[in-house]
Amino acid sequence: MSDIQLSLFEESNFDQKELIPTDAKIPIPAGTYSNITELAQHCNQCQRCELGQTRTHAVVGRGNLKAPIMIVGEAPGQSEDETGLPFVGRSGQLLEKILASVNLTTEQDVYIGNINKCRPPNNRVPTPNEMAACLPYLLEQIRLVDPKIILLTGATALKGLTGEKQAITKIRGQWIEWEGRLCMPIFHPSYLLRNPSKEKGSPKWLMWQDIQVVRAKYDEIRQNIPG
């Protein structure tokens, strides 16, 4: 057998999984990862989009890895890039307060992740190509955590996961079915920080309505789970 034939044979033995972090054209089939730790290792070496060049840490997720509720945000900001954890700045503190207002915690009930795992420079919105490059990681996270309810914070999370382009002000608080899961678009906590009014009809007041609806649905689902 010639050297060329031998090298072709070696190439056919390439483990496609090892190539995932190198190029967005390499697919990430469902079932690629058996746990979030494996997935996080790939994210931390990933160069599928150019956001990988400037990150300090890939921000994969935090919370209960088997949580019934998953919250999806846009992309890491500075504090998240520094710590490797999502929603740890002021937005994160507000999110924790919103959850606590209906007795939900990230230790028990919630897992938090993002559309993009790496911070976009100057906190700009991730581009469609960057979102598409990273989406398969999120799909794997959703498969592994297997939440009953997904909350999509803001327009980028909504569009990034479901492709839905409607304004968040129009669609927030409504249940959407996506891939057999119940999803609800809600305001991003950073939007609430910019709109501090608690008046009836204000974004904060609407968020309070939405999180109560989420809590009620969560209780309903729990009642229907045997055991």
Binding site for ligand SF4 (CB under 6 A): 43, 46-49, 51-52, 58, 116-118, 130, 133-134
Torsion of CA 23, 25, 30, 31, to 10 degrees: -40
- Residues with Cβ within 8 Å of 35's Cβ and at least 6 positions away in sequence, in order, are 144
Least separation, in Å, of the C-beta of 95 and ligand SF4?
A: 21
Least separation, in Å, of the C-beta of 112 and ligand SF4?
A: 16
**Exposed / middle / buried, residue 103 (Cβ in 10 Å: 0-12, 13-18, 19+):** exposed
Select 126 or 185, whichever has its Cβ closest to ligand SF4: 126
Select 118 or 186, whichever has its Cβ closest to ligand SF4: 118
Select 85 or 211, whichever has its Cβ closest to ligand SF4: 85
Least separation, in Å, of the C-beta of 153 and ligand SF4?
A: 17
Type of residue found at 86: P
Select 57 or 172, whichever has its Cβ closest to ligand SF4: 57
Select 139 or 206, whichever has its Cβ closest to ligand SF4: 139
Torsion of CA 132, 134, 140, 146, to 10 degrees: -80
Type of residue found at 209: Q
Least separation, in Å, of the C-beta of 30 and ligand SF4?
A: 17
Residue 119 CA to residue 27 CA, distance in Å, equals 22
Least separation, in Å, of the C-beta of 107 and ligand SF4?
A: 25
